[in-house]
Structure 1
Amino acid sequence: MNDHVNPDSANPHVTKPRAILKPRRLALLGTVAALGVAVLAAAPGGHSPFDGASFTSPALAAETAPTPPGFADLVTKVKPAVISVRVKIDQADDKSAMLQQNRMDSDEDSPFGQFPKEFGFRLPKGMQQMPNGMPQRHRVITGEGSGFFISPDGYAVTNNHVVDHAQSVQVTADDGTIYTAKVIGTDPKTDLALIKVDGKKDFPFVKFSEQRPRIGDWVVAVGNPFGLGGTVTAGIVSANGRDIGAGPYDDYIQIDAPINKGNSGGPAFDMNGNVIGVNTAIFSPSGGSVGIGFDIPANTAKLVVAQLKDKGSVTRGWLGVQVQPVTADIADSLGLKEAKGAIVDTPQDNSPAAKAGIEAGDVITAVNGTAVKDSRDLARTIGTMAPGSSVKLDVWHKGESKTVSVNLGELPNERQAKANDKANDKADEGQPSAGTPRLGLSLAPAGDVQGAGQKGVVVTSVDPEGPAASRGIQTGDVILNVGGKAVGSIDDVRAELKQAKSAGKRSVLLQVKSAEATKFVAVPLA
């Protein structure tokens, strides 16, 4: 990671970590130990407090005790393939380096901010300006991370944020030899990069695991924390499929093997010496390891690295829909048996999905016959497919299941996934007539409210104790659709609410447009 950063100094290759050992604490522990011996020796009557207990002589214990399992053989096998990665950025040539500062400086309230996915370069305080207050014109920044060889001819994997914007890249092998490397390609969406060291054909290398680890499996991490290359830590796989909000393809393996700044891009191994993941982030309120680290899975890394090696970049299939997970309330309102799949908020104009007839409110339940768990699962699945490929989507459309064929497009490089921002919406549909479920909303036709457009009904006020308020609907939202039917008046809303209640539904699905996004909200029928 561009985690460990030093401005050029007389000896830029040496970093002095703060007080690694604390002699005073060691002395205190020594005092306690000596006191313990004295107490045992001073037992009343000259007898040991353990008289009568059964003891085994130290010599016999040494002969009979089984040798505890260790990782030495594994480490001997894999450690030579792990490298330390050092990069330099010339600020005069790359102004973006100033924007790549570690989020420690800006997101102090966020534990992830202490060690984010995009670490960038941490600049010491005062480094951005000269002492006289004039802007700095030239500064070389260095950063350090980790990596590992994946082939004998010098291809190595690291994190994108380790080599991003680097003017030069150097790697240090386990035997201390320093090589110059070049960046073959990067993929910011998964935070992976492929680099290459030329000149040799016999580099030690490791392979990616063919299967995902199980929760509880041992894991060994090797890397360059704080510039201390060749550091080995061990732990277990704590969880699978973690989403840390880093991007649409989040699918991290969580481990508790301690990793710190400088471990970014390094490998995590299983007990067979295969790479199960690439270390990329930690959760840390303090800035150091608290035993919650995140790895890019080997299966993701293999796919990305193969494309980077082949063409220097990654292309992904593009469906062109904004989706959200199917909650239990949404499933109930749509008549789905299970809360699975991804509901389409809006198909993008001229996208493959729109051309195939997919509409807002449709639920994508499977891709090529494989069930879709949620919206993230859909994004990952489509993202692994090649642009131009044809896929079959199982879609729940207006209460019926159908299969749709879609020819995927190519994900635009500059397209950013838009978050479904929760608008502050509140509403109450006036005085409901007898038998009409009450949502706690006051509504008005959109055409009667300036700036609201001509479609739907506008939420003019919200009962804070009503069902709609509990689902986050706020004043100013526009309700476009109720129970699958477009609405343009309060009477339309009431009619659809009655229909939903008559059908025995416990909630009704609303399509709501806020200031920046359109989303579906399942509101309980009171």
Structure 2
Amino acid sequence: MKHAAGLLAFVARFAVLGLALAFVIGLFWPGVGSRLRAHFGMPVAQPAAATAAAPEAPPAPASYADAVARAEPSVVNIYANKVVTEQAVRMYSDPLMQRLFGGHLVGTYQHPEQSLGSGVIVSDKGYVLTNNHVIANANDIQVLLYDGRVAKATLVGADPETDLAVLKINAGNLQPIRMADQKKLRVGDVVLAIGNPLGLNQTVTMGIISTIGRQLVSGSPEDFIQTDAAINLGNSGGALVNTRGELVGINTLLIGKAADAEGIGFAIPVNTATEVLKQLIATGHVVRGWLGADYAFVPVAADSGLPAAARGVQVTDVYPGSPAALAGIQPHDILLRMGTHGILDPADLRRYEASLKPGTTLEVSGLRNGSPFHVKVTLIARPAQASVSLQQGQS
């Protein structure tokens, strides 16, 4: 028994010694075991395949100077001069009367006023895209180019609903901006705002896309890119570009500290701006299709007969005499399809109907009290709507 125990202890000591020796060899001469097995014709163990890692985003560049250099020559400063008529008030000379009655109107007077803004060169033929509120009611518009030249601009057309306007300047050697692919925009993408804030000339600020498809006015077909890139008064009509210097949107609105907000600005998406640009150059105005109803999200309830992730819209109101009213569409109807277009939500339907030409006839499909229905509608031109305006925020 003692002999067996001694033999076991002897084997154990040599085993421990062998493991320690193997550890030292493996530490200082890694791979020697594989080479010995290969030398004696023994199978060599293959390393386990590395677990597929999630693709890593490319590192952010140390500078965005290249993007600015590509885009900045396409951004211009706009100075819109107008004559403003205001009421003239005469104050009482007696301090007591002045305190009691203030003053009284004695007619009107006129004085010059200048609006500052920005614009983007979109064609080598001299077309400049800007905001409508920058040039509204102006009788003289001057454009300061990147290279210091000054050109007089004429108004080609304006669209108050999107707050876009197109100017035309007579100048050569212009550098049109490159347009981005809006479908590739993602929340979190870095963007740069270039413009003329507070008359400080070419200024660049940086931020990210905070959200896409932001709607600011119920019932409007237009949506916005929200960004935290600083947009200030004078940035209106300027460029929001990506890190390749391509136009992502036209800066137009901000929500300032008056609303206890910080880092909330809005830009008109490049696709919307491009479509408006084409129509304004072609006809001087923008025409949109209109169904003539107001919509809300589909209420999902146990008795709605709809899946939990229901798409479509619920009709909340129908305008008398509108295409929807003439087709028999009623409040509480659920609209699911318009022509071949599957309706996602209210914003999607507003954008789609606005993209169609007046006079277009198509079939609208939906549910009424849980039963399918199909009607033919012929769209008409969308009536003029009030332009998007935040009291604290046209930039």
Of residues 196, 212, 229 in structure 2, which corresponds to 1:240? Answer: 212
**Are 1:182 and 2:154 counterparts?**
yes
**Are 1:263 and 2:256 counterparts?**
no
Deviation at 1:380, TM superposition (A): 1.6
CA deviations 1:84-107 (Å, max 9, x no partner) are 111111124xxxxx6xxxxxxxxx
- 2-side partners of 1:247 and 1:176: how far apart? 42
**Are 1:382 and 2:375 counterparts?**
no
Q: Which amino acid aligns with 1:270?
A: N
Deviation at 1:139, TM superposition (A): 1.1
Deviation at 1:247, TM superposition (A): 6.1
Question: Tell me, which stretches of 5 or more residues in structure 2 are unaligned?
Answer: 1-58, 92-102, 388-395
Deviation at 1:339, TM superposition (A): 4.1
Match of 1:301 in 2: 273
Match of 2:96 in 1: none
Match of 1:291 in 2: 263
**Are 1:322 and 2:294 counterparts?**
yes
Q: Which structure has the bigger radius of gyration?
A: 2
Question: Tell me, which stretches of 5 or more residues in structure 1 are unaligned?
Answer: 1-65, 93-97, 99-127, 418-526
Deviation at 1:240, TM superposition (A): 1.0
Match of 2:304 in 1: 334
Instruction: Give SS of 1:334's match.
Output: coil
- 1-side partners of 2:336 and 2:76: how far apart? 43
Of residues 71, 82, 86 in structure 1, which corresponds to 2:64? Answer: 71
CA deviations 1:389-409 (Å, max 9, x no partner) are 123322112212333332211
Instruction: Give SS of 2:257's match.
Output: coil
Cα distance, 1:68–1:307 mapped onto 2, change above 3 Å:
closer
Cα distance, 1:316–1:186 mapped onto 2, change above 3 Å:
same
Deviation at 1:82, TM superposition (A): 0.3
Of residues 69, 72, 76 in structure 2, which corresponds to 1:83? Answer: 76
Q: Which amino acid aligns with 1:341?
A: G
Cα distance, 1:84–1:376 mapped onto 2, change above 3 Å:
same
Instruction: Give SS of 2:271's match.
Output: helix
Instruction: Give SS of 2:329's match.
Output: coil
RMSD: 2.4
- 2-side partners of 1:416 and 1:391: how far apart? 28
Cα distance, 1:68–1:203 mapped onto 2, change above 3 Å:
closer
Deviation at 1:135, TM superposition (A): 4.9
Instruction: Give SS of 1:302's match.
Output: helix
Paired residues of 1:259 and 1:289 also in contact (CA < 8 A): no
CA deviations 1:115-173 (Å, max 9, x no partner) are xxxxxxxxxxxxx6457454541111111011110001110100111111111111111
Deviation at 1:283, TM superposition (A): 1.8
Deviation at 1:416, TM superposition (A): 6.4
Paired residues of 1:153 and 1:202 also in contact (CA < 8 A): no
Match of 1:192 in 2: 164
* Map 1:81-120 → 2, pairs under 5 A: 81-92=74-85
Paired residues of 2:67 and 2:242 also in contact (CA < 8 A): no
- 1-side partners of 2:70 and 2:260: how far apart? 28
CA deviations 1:262-308 (Å, max 9, x no partner) are 00111101122221111111122248983211111111111111100
Paired residues of 1:260 and 1:288 also in contact (CA < 8 A): no
* Map 1:1-80 → 2, pairs under 5 A: 69-80=62-73
* Map 1:440-479 → 2, pairs under 5 A: none
**Are 1:403 and 2:374 counterparts?**
yes
Cα distance, 1:229–1:161 mapped onto 2, change above 3 Å:
same
* Map 1:163-182 → 2, pairs under 5 A: 163-182=135-154
Percent of matched pairs sharing the same residue: 36
- 2-side partners of 1:67 and 1:303: how far apart? 32
- 2-side partners of 1:209 and 1:402: how far apart? 40
Q: Which has the larger strand fraction?
A: 2
Paired residues of 1:315 and 1:411 also in contact (CA < 8 A): yes
- 2-side partners of 1:162 and 1:416: how far apart? 16
Cα distance, 1:201–1:333 mapped onto 2, change above 3 Å:
farther
Paired residues of 2:339 and 2:364 also in contact (CA < 8 A): yes
- 2-side partners of 1:306 and 1:191: how far apart? 15
Cα distance, 1:359–1:278 mapped onto 2, change above 3 Å:
same
Cα distance, 1:186–1:320 mapped onto 2, change above 3 Å:
same
Paired residues of 1:369 and 1:394 also in contact (CA < 8 A): no
Match of 1:354 in 2: 325
Deviation at 1:335, TM superposition (A): 2.2
Match of 1:159 in 2: 131
CA deviations 1:383-431 (Å, max 9, x no partner) are 1111111233221122123333322111133x669xxxxxxxxxxxxxx
Q: How many residues align?
A: 314
Deviation at 1:327, TM superposition (A): 2.9
Q: Which amino acid aligns with 2:246?
A: N
Range with greater deviation from structure 2 (71-80 or 237-246):
237-246
Deviation at 1:78, TM superposition (A): 1.2
Of residues 320, 343, 348 in structure 2, which corresponds to 1:372? Answer: 343
Instruction: Give SS of 2:110's match.
Output: coil
CA deviations 1:434-461 (Å, max 9, x no partner) are xxxxxxxxxxxxxxxxxxxxxxxxxxxx
Q: Which amino acid aligns with 1:299?
A: N
Paired residues of 1:84 and 1:229 also in contact (CA < 8 A): yes
- 1-side partners of 2:166 and 2:176: how far apart? 14
- 2-side partners of 1:225 and 1:391: how far apart? 46
Deviation at 1:225, TM superposition (A): 0.2
**Are 1:392 and 2:334 counterparts?**
no
Paired residues of 2:160 and 2:386 also in contact (CA < 8 A): no
